[in-house]
Structure 1
Amino acid sequence: MILQTTTIARNTFIESVRQPIYFIVLLLAGALQVFTTWSTAYSMGYTDSSEVTKDNKLLFDIGLATILVAGMLLAAFVATAVLSREIESKTILTVVSKPISRIAVVLGKYIGVAGALTVAVIIMTSYLMLAVRHGVMSTAADEIDMPVVVFSTLAVALSVGVAGWCNFYYGWSFPQTASLLLLPTILVAFALTLFIDKHWEAQALATDLKPQVMLASMAVLLALLVLAAVATAISTRLGQVMTIVTCAGVLMVGLLSNYMIGRHAYQNTSVGVVEFAEPDRETRWQFNERGHIYFVRLSAPPRADIAPGTPVYYGSNPNGFMLANRSITADDGTVQGVIATDIDGRELSMELAADAPLASRPPRQGDHLFLTETEVHPVAATLHAIVPNFQQYWLVDAITRNSKIPTQHVLVLSGYAGVQIVMFLAIGVFLFQRRDVG
């Protein structure tokens, strides 16, 4: 089955990049990045504290959104081209009539589509990195970044020129050749701009290298791989137009899932945000035994009265999802858990008053403080877990606010995306198993 899946994936990848729409979308994405550098001035961003600064914040926001939308369209177009059309034209019979399982067909088709989509996202991310390096020309005094213009233009022109020459003399597929040539040429163009500044002088590699932007683009790629799984699954039943509509609908619902579903799944009210937290001398950064104390300062006065001895709860989510501690009621009726003591305005002490390990970790900066445990609604929570939450993949705010994206967060996102991909591919296999292709 592995060999069969690999063969189908290779053929699907080649068929995907041969689609004329594939190269057209790549060119349109590059053109939109150029137009974005001309039209995002005067966005009133003046801070210089992050990798993307001033007017470039809007440039980055629109540029990453361009990658997301273009990737969604590519996923839908390519998936229908390699699966739905084959089913409608009965050419899929040449595969399923052989001793090849339909599971291998769906997996192979998805891997091929995902590979083509990954190549496209790398190319479009290179466009975005070049656009961010060039920056928005907010004033007449701003100079054009000629290395960016020259290298990017040469990359596209070389890819198109060589592809046209090979198509004319050797009959090679123009979209396939141009797309696969554009990948190394645009990467070389971006690499050259890292070593050459806008005045054609040598510079250090780290000057214009933006790893946080790359992590944000990687998160968008994960979201698009989930959409590719959706497109592959529904292409077993629907045509091209309905596949595009469904993918757009899944993306829209996924972006709004926190508001539409999530706010009903977990309900709690935050009374403050932790600005500073440190242990007393005896606790020594631990928070797992009775008597351990943490001193906490909130960013603003608490939005509700906190009486001494009141159980408090904390967690990283403002709706109380996955609190870091809990409480229990003892046999004598007393509540054991994390107790608020020594309250003075924005400052308070949090003491672990329990023999059982009721806190998974100490409080830390950025945690939300609660006075009650989170109320969980099972139906809404189940729907919230099933529907892809694409807001989790959108990390623009972290970059524009100069909040570092932890590598662990990207790893967690990868696991979340993997679960969603497996779920949708399982649905696709189920639908394809029951599809009459004869």
Structure 2
Amino acid sequence: MFRQALTISGNTFTEAIRQPVFTVLVLIGALGLVLNVFLAAYSMEPGRGDNKILIDLGLSTVLLVGLLLAAFTATGVVAEEIEAKTVLTVVSKPVPRPLFVLAKFLGVTAAIGVAHATLSCIFTLSLRHRVMQNASDHLDGPVLTLGVGGALLALLLAAAGNYLYRRSFTSTFVALLCLTQVLAVLGVSVLTPQWGLQPPLAELTRDGGQVGQVLLGLFLLFEAVVVLTALCVALSTRLGQLPTLLIALGVFFAGLIAGALSGWVDQRLSLPPGVGVFESLIAVWNADIGIGLKPVYTLAKLVYLALPNLQFFWPADAISQGNSMIEDLSGRFTLAPILSVSGYALLYTVALLGAAVALFQRREVG
């Protein structure tokens, strides 16, 4: 059974990164991260404010591209395979349907993980380069040479492999781009902007460890993308590409404001901080308010209860305010916040995969 799961996951991974839309979205995300360095130079607080905007724009770009990759990739390797009846070649063999769904999810997640790693490396390079605020500012030579040079090298090698050995250009390019950008980050970590040598961990401790906080934030964003991937896989077992994309976008935007909606209800009812969602629901129906407001408040609470609260995974506010995600109020090291968010992501992913298995279990594929 393990070998079957590994085979299906590997084929799904290969099929996912071969999709032209996968490469296009990765390139769009990479271009957006590069342009953010120039777009962030127009804040009302030059210097620190520009870099805050750069972090916000970069994290937003990575998260949005991850959502689009999840929607398009999941439908490309699940929904289209069901519609084309090619899934029959798998489920007609002794392969349980739950195993098929889980293996598909793992393959899609691995492909999106490669894209996320690539974009995270490009984002890290953009943070190292910083926003150019004055005409006298100099370009960061190592960032441009290793980052842009690595991308061009990946392009040339992928083109050569396609021409000489008939290898898939898109999958080869995506894999090589990820590799070259990882090497670029490692190279930049030991080089100063003037091509001097520096300790490998110097970048992580710069500006109070801001880069290290950003890397933790990117890890949290990947967990959010994994949750959205599980959602898209579940939707793809029954729906096509366009409905899956629309519902995923709706859940994405609703998940960003779900916490704010719940907090708004608590504030209107003057509930104490930290009150549970079920206690607040009881308080809504016991409150002395208009009968028309009770359904509105209840709907806001149900949205918070049912949809993933993506604000848990959003690190930009903490990074911009200089709050550490691995220290408590007294400054002691703790992984409690990271572990709690990871546990939330794990439970939500398991729940969505359970729904995906249930939806696919009775799906007619013949």
Would you say same fold, with TM above 0.5? yes
| Kept after mapping to 1: 8 A contact 2:261/2:301 | no
| Kept after mapping to 2: 8 A contact 1:265/1:384 | no
Cα 1:266–1:2, aligned 2, differ >3 Å: closer, same or farther?
farther
Query: SS state of the match for residue 403, structure 1?
Result: coil
Query: Equivalents in 2 of 1:258, 1:146: separation in Å?
Result: 43
Cα 1:319–1:147, aligned 2, differ >3 Å: closer, same or farther?
same
Q: Which residue among 172, 177, 183 is the counterpart of 1:177?
A: 172
| Kept after mapping to 2: 8 A contact 1:237/1:435 | yes
Name the residue aligned to 2:74. Answer: 79
| Kept after mapping to 2: 8 A contact 1:236/1:428 | yes
2:120 aligned with 1:121 = no
2:317 aligned with 1:397 = yes
1:376-391 to structure 2, matched below 5 A, reads: 376-377=280-281, 383-391=303-311
Name the residue aligned to 1:234. Answer: 235
Cα 1:101–1:260, aligned 2, differ >3 Å: closer, same or farther?
same
Query: Equivalents in 1 of 2:2, 2:109: separation in Å?
Result: 17
Query: Equivalents in 1 of 2:108, 2:10: separation in Å?
Result: 10
Name the residue aligned to 2:223. Answer: 222
Task: Name the amino acid aligned to 2:6.
Answer: T
Question: 1:409 Cα shift?
Answer: 1.2
Query: Equivalents in 2 of 1:9, 1:264: separation in Å?
Result: 43
Query: SS state of the match for residue 144, structure 1?
Result: coil
Question: 1:265 Cα shift?
Answer: 6.5
CA deviations on 1:339-380 (whole Å, 9 max, x unpaired) are xxxxxxxxxxxxxxxxxxxxxxxxxxxxxxxxxxx9521566
Name the residue aligned to 2:24. Answer: 24
Name the residue aligned to 1:194. Answer: 189
Q: Which residue among 383, 405, 421 is the counterpart of 2:349?
A: 421
Query: Equivalents in 2 of 1:34, 1:383: separation in Å?
Result: 35
Name the residue aligned to 2:359. Answer: 431
Q: Percentage identity across aligned positions?
A: 38
Query: SS state of the match for residue 320, structure 1?
Result: coil
Query: SS state of the match for residue 224, structure 2?
Result: helix
| Kept after mapping to 2: 8 A contact 1:40/1:55 | yes
Q: How many residues align?
A: 336
Query: Equivalents in 2 of 1:319, 1:437: separation in Å?
Result: 50
Query: Equivalents in 1 of 2:45, 2:343: separation in Å?
Result: 34
Query: Equivalents in 2 of 1:383, 1:61: separation in Å?
Result: 25
**Structure with more strand by fraction:** 1
Question: 1:260 Cα shift?
Answer: 2.9
Compare 34-43 and 108-117 and name the one that shifted more. 34-43
Question: 1:382 Cα shift?
Answer: 6.0
Question: 1:10 Cα shift?
Answer: 1.2
Q: Which residue among 57, 65, 68 is the counterpart of 1:70?
A: 65
Query: Equivalents in 2 of 1:206, 1:45: separation in Å?
Result: 28
Name the residue aligned to 1:258. Answer: 259
CA RMSD of aligned residues (A): 2.1
Q: Which residue among 89, 106, 112 is the counterpart of 1:111?
A: 106
Name the residue aligned to 2:142. Answer: 147
Compare 255-264 and 231-240 and name the one that shifted more. 255-264
Query: Equivalents in 1 of 2:86, 2:352: separation in Å?
Result: 24
Query: Equivalents in 1 of 2:247, 2:267: separation in Å?
Result: 28
Task: Name the amino acid aligned to 1:416.
Answer: Y
2:143 aligned with 1:160 = no
Task: Name the amino acid aligned to 2:4.
Answer: Q
Name the residue aligned to 1:411. Answer: 339
Task: Name the amino acid aligned to 1:395.
Answer: P
| Kept after mapping to 1: 8 A contact 2:235/2:356 | yes
Query: SS state of the match for residue 256, structure 1?
Result: helix
Question: 1:261 Cα shift?
Answer: 3.8
Compare 36-45 and 387-396 and name the one that shifted more. 36-45
Cα 1:266–1:44, aligned 2, differ >3 Å: closer, same or farther?
closer
Query: Equivalents in 1 of 2:341, 2:49: separation in Å?
Result: 28
Q: Which residue among 100, 103, 106 is the counterpart of 2:95?
A: 100
Q: Which has the higher contact order (CA 8 A, sep 6+)?
A: 2
Name the residue aligned to 2:330. Answer: none
| Kept after mapping to 2: 8 A contact 1:234/1:428 | yes
Name the residue aligned to 1:348. Answer: none
Question: 1:217 Cα shift?
Answer: 0.5
Query: Equivalents in 2 of 1:266, 1:118: separation in Å?
Result: 39
Query: SS state of the match for residue 83, structure 1?
Result: helix
Name the residue aligned to 1:308. Answer: none
Query: Equivalents in 2 of 1:418, 1:267: separation in Å?
Result: 32
**Structure with more helix by fraction:** 2
Cα 1:435–1:266, aligned 2, differ >3 Å: closer, same or farther?
farther
Q: Give unpaired runs (5+ residues) of structure 1.
A: 48-52, 271-317, 323-373
Query: Equivalents in 2 of 1:269, 1:398: separation in Å?
Result: 26
Question: 1:153 Cα shift?
Answer: 0.9
